[in-house]
Structure 1
Amino acid sequence: MVGQLIVLLAGALTITALTVMIGPAVFHYHLLQTDLPVGSAELFHIERAYRDALAIALGVGLVVSLLAAGFVTWRLARRLRQSLHGLTLAVDELSRGHYSTRVPTLGAGTELDSLAATLNDMAARLDAVEENRRRLLSDLAHELRTPIATLAAHHEAMADGVIEPETAMPILASQTVRLSRLADDISEVSRAEEGQLPLELRPVAVHDLLKTTTQEWDERFVTAGVTLRLTNAPDRTATITADPHRLAQVLGNLLNNALRHTSPGGTVTLSATTDSSTVKIAVADDGEGFTAEDRSRLFERFFRADSSRTRENSGSGIGLTISRALVDAHGGTIVAASAGPGRGAVFTITLPRATADG
């Protein structure tokens, strides 16, 4: 506001000075072109009348202009100050961790409205991150509670002589392994999502990758009574630039997930298709499937679509999250599809072909 008033006063002084210096001189020059004698009373009164009229008109005009400009400036400055105050309060609330705070529509110009929209978008993202953090901590606490409770109960039972150590040892060992596996999974998924897992990239034949993976998992599928089939395996000329061990880990996670959700007598199919620029690897099963609501959360940490299953038999709920992070690190994508509960599921990995291909 003060800056604007200084500009207005400087403009008024400039106009006044130029008018006083130039106006009377020009008027006097034109008077001399008339027949009035120089130094006459008429000439003096005409020039005085001009100066008085000029002074009054200029003074009144400047006062009115300054008042009008000052009022407009005050209104704009007040409006701008209120808008900036609202932004400041919102930023302060966000800095305190109140991520549900939103900046109301300011209507103070494109720039400030754009800034408000950006702040609201940032707040929404922070709110989503905070919600994920809360859910992660809640899920993690739930994951830890069961094995810790089991360990505590069996230790207490051994101390009371209710259970013999030889009987409790297998259960204690399994729960200890479960805790160790959970800690390893959490560490790995965190490093994977942060892009810190090392990748040893080299040309990999898709045919060999699928063949090796099928051989590694065939015995487990036979034991579970589920058929594992390899179809549409491309020839060895279809290659990708990848870390074969990490991709085998991804396929292992998907096959393990399909095996858990497919009943004995069911079938899991591993296949691949190629085009000029991509390779698509699919793991399909005819098992439990999932709902459309679950689809958007399948790759979240600790999420399980099969909530009715016991946590002992359903894994840590991190495998799909790790798989997505590893596929992303290879420059690819992974998507899930299902026609609905009881109608199976398909997980499709899309990876770029090696530049040396076809």
Structure 2
Amino acid sequence: MTHSRASWGLAARLLAAIVVVVLAGSATAWAVASVIGPAVFHVHIIERSGTSDPGVLRHSEEAFATASGYSLGFALLAALVTSVIVSVFLTRRIGRSLARVRQAAGRLAAGDYTVRVPAVSMGAEFDDMATAFNTMAADLGRIEETRTRLLGDLAHEMRTPVATLDGYLEGIQDGVVPADEGTMAMLRDQVSRLARLAEDIALVTTAEEGRLTMNREPVEVGQIVDAALAQASARYAAQQVRLVAKMPDDAKKVLLSADVDRIGQVLTNLLDNALRHTPAGGTVRLGADRVDGGVRIRVGDDGEGIAAEHLPHVFERFYRADTARDRAHGGSGVGLAIARSIVRAHGGDVTASSPGPGRGAIFTVELPVAERERR
């Protein structure tokens, strides 16, 4: 019994439902006509024609009953046949449309993310369903592409420190490499590199999934910028790169509703990125300006710059251009991705611009002001 019910498809169920509705309508129409028709006919014969002969009345009523019965019966039968034909056409069309969706879903489940459902032109509901399915397929395709690329990039990033650790440990085991302080320091450095990579990957994944914990509080822009400058100054001095800050007073006083540590991490990542790609003797400029509804913070350098074809991709995880983001500069390759995720979690955005290779780059962070300052 269960198998019999399960074998009924949607088209068959729709057809059965429509037939039931037609039959119920026909039965109702027959019942109403049978009750009202003779009474109305009788009133018209007696009151309006003036006929009182019982034989004539009986014959007239029999004639009316026979005529109305045949005509109503044939009319209802014709309506039933027509309704069934139209219903069969509609249910088959709906069935074919749903079959395409079912087949597409099967291909999608099998890993074919290029599958799309064509528009069926059967109303807004079907069009919305097709659009939603196609959007889902496209999103899953992008997620799968990102996952595949991420795994490949992650394997590449891990290969160097793992190979280094393996080579040195094998050398120590064979007695070729001394287990002195220098070797231990180098091994600890490679382990730290792997640990940083794991932490950065976990952070950017959490941020992109919207699960990043935010402890927001009112904070002035000047406070965040000053803290970032204090943390970066020693690194810049060691690399002989000038770090210059310029902020008007109205920008310093802009009040943000932000997680101080997270936004500080954004500026730290941007300053570290600028330092990696600015040679000794170069200059990195940190500035902020107040704009309508928010603040704009800029980190600009006069270093290697970024080619135009690489600009749309610099915030992607592990993306590196041949020059401006070469692995020789160090870093985990996800610093800019982390910065973008944190800024977007605050309702802002971060962009990159560059006149071209060898002409520096500018990273711009835009953040909205705190709600109470807008009032």
TM above 0.5: yes
**Percent of residue pairs bearing the same amino acid type:** 43
Report the counterpart of residue 81 of structure 2 in structure 1.
67
Write the letter of the residue equivalent to 1:125. Answer: D
Contact 1:229 1:267 in 2 (8 A): yes
**Deviations 1:58-83 (CA, angstroms, capped at 9, x unpaired):** 23222222111111111112222222
- Residues 306, 324 of structure 2: 8 Å contact kept: no
Structure 1 length-normalised TM? 0.86
Q: Does 1:259 align with 2:275?
A: yes
The CA deviation at 1:303 is 1.8
Is contact 1:203-1:239 (8 Å) kept?
Answer: yes
Counterpart for residue 226 of structure 1: 241
State the shift of 1:35 in Å. 6.8
Distance in 1 separating the partners of 2:63 and 2:219: 100
Measured in 1, the distance between the counterparts of 2:109 and 2:160 equals: 36
SS of equivalent to 2:329: coil
Q: Deviations over 1:164-209 (max 9, x none)?
A: 3347444433322211221222233334445555555444343344
- The one-character-per-residue Cα deviations of 1:255-308 (angstroms, maximum 9, x if unpaired) are 110111223333211111114632211101122222344333222222223467
Provide the residue aligned with 2:165 in structure 1: 151
- State the distance in 2 between where 1:344 and 1:13 align: 84
Query: In 2, distance between residues paired with 1:257 and 1:335?
Result: 14
Larger % of helix: which?
2
Are 2:232 and 1:213 aligned?
A: no
Aligned length in residues: 357
| Structure 1 residue ranges without an equivalent (≥5) | none
> Does 275-284 or 13-22 show the bigger shift?
13-22
Q: Indicate the residue corresponding to 1:5 in structure 2.
A: 19
Residues 7-156 of structure 1: pairs in structure 2 closer than 5 A = 7-32=21-46, 33-34=48-49, 38-40=53-55, 47-156=61-170
For 1:199-210, list aligned pairs within 5 A. Answer: 199-210=214-225
Aligned to 1:180: 195
| CA drift at 1:323 | 1.6
Residue equivalent to 2:349: 333
The residue matched to 2:313 in structure 1 has which SS? coil
Residues 357 and 72 (structure 1 numbering): CA distance in 2 closer, same or farther, change over 3 Å?
closer
- Alpha-carbon distance in 1 for matches of 2:38, 2:210: 79
- Deviations for 1:99-121, whole angstroms, at most 9, x for unmatched residues? 33322222222211211111211
1:86 aligned partner, one-letter code:
R
* Structure 2, unpaired ranges of 5+: 1-14
> Structure 1 residues 61 and 315 mapped into 2: Cα distance closer, same or farther (>3 Å)?
same
Q: CA RMSD in A?
A: 3.0
The range that moved more, 198-207 or 335-344, is 198-207
The 10-residue stretch of structure 1 (142-151 or 245-254) with the greater mean CA deviation from structure 2: 245-254
Shift of 1:336: 1.6
Counterpart-to-counterpart distance in 1, 2:223 and 2:124? 57
Measured against aligned partners, the alpha-carbon deviations of 1:134-191 in whole angstroms (never above 9, x if no partner) come to 2111111111111112222233334444433347444433322211221222233334
User: For 1:301 and 1:2, how far apart are their aligned partners in 2?
Assistant: 55
Matches within 5 A, 1:241-256: 241-256=257-272
Q: 1:305 is matched with which residue?
A: 321
Alignment of 1:311-350 (within 5 A): 311-350=327-366
2:311 to 263, 272, 295: 295
